[in-house]
Amino acid sequence: MISEVLAIAIAYLVGAIPFGLLVAKLQKGIDIREHGSGNIGTSNVLRTLGKRAALLTLAGDILKGYLPILLARGLGVSELWMTVVGLAAVIGHNWPVYAGFRGGKGVATSFGASLGIMPRMAGLALLVYIVVATMARYTSLAALISSASLLLWVHLFKASRAQVLFAAIAAALIYLRHRENIQRLLRGTERKIGQRVGVR
């Protein structure tokens, strides 16, 4: 149990690193939570600071989901505990202790964790994300549909119970964190990809 508890604690603390907040501070000296949507994730960084800052944020957020899975595997934890480690990283991103528990929406970190746990199915979910984002131009809609698609892939590929558990909880967390986006999508007021808001 020591290895499992250690891996979970490290996953949360790594997941809680607020890359969007750090990138915005270092690049522009601003608190990204006070601009745009107020979110620390890639989408708000893109709209507020542009592509370079967004790519740095995206890379950091994916890695903090992926690296804890590598650590867990190195510690020899079971597949079930590995999914708990991945979810701990996502929870860290969503509710980071370093940033007053005001975090992102968990999409990139969930992808990073799923890439470590079930790479083939994560790749298919990513493909769905790219197609939806390209066609509809809504990152939120792409996140919602791709996270739901992961549940389809785990069913079609007859994934393990642990993988199904991760897919289900990760998708539920993404939908939970996108409640306001869903409302804006329904009202037709959601911002599209490429709509800059700039720094106030």
Q: Could you state, in order of their start, the residue ranges of all structural domains in the chain?
A: 2-187
Residue with token string 């994934």: 159
Please state, in angstroms and rounded to a whole number, the distance separating the CA atoms of residues 85 and 10.
9
Residues 6+ away with beta carbon under 8 Å from 157? 120, 121
Please state, in angstroms and rounded to a whole number, the distance separating the CA atoms of residues 200 and 173.
30
Please state, in angstroms and rounded to a whole number, the distance separating the CA atoms of residues 56 and 144.
22
pLDDT in single tens digits along all 200 residues of the chain: 788 999 999 999 999 999 999 999 998 899 898 888 788 889 889 888 999 999 999 999 999 999 999 999 999 999 999 999 999 999 999 999 999 999 999 999 999 999 999 999 999 999 999 999 999 999 999 999 999 999 999 999 999 999 999 999 999 999 999 999 999 999 999 988 866 655 55
Please state, in angstroms and rounded to a whole number, the distance separating the CA atoms of residues 164 and 178.
21
Decide: 174 and 151 in contact? Cβ < 8 Å. Answer: no
Whether the full predicted model's pTM is greater than 0.85, yes or no, is yes
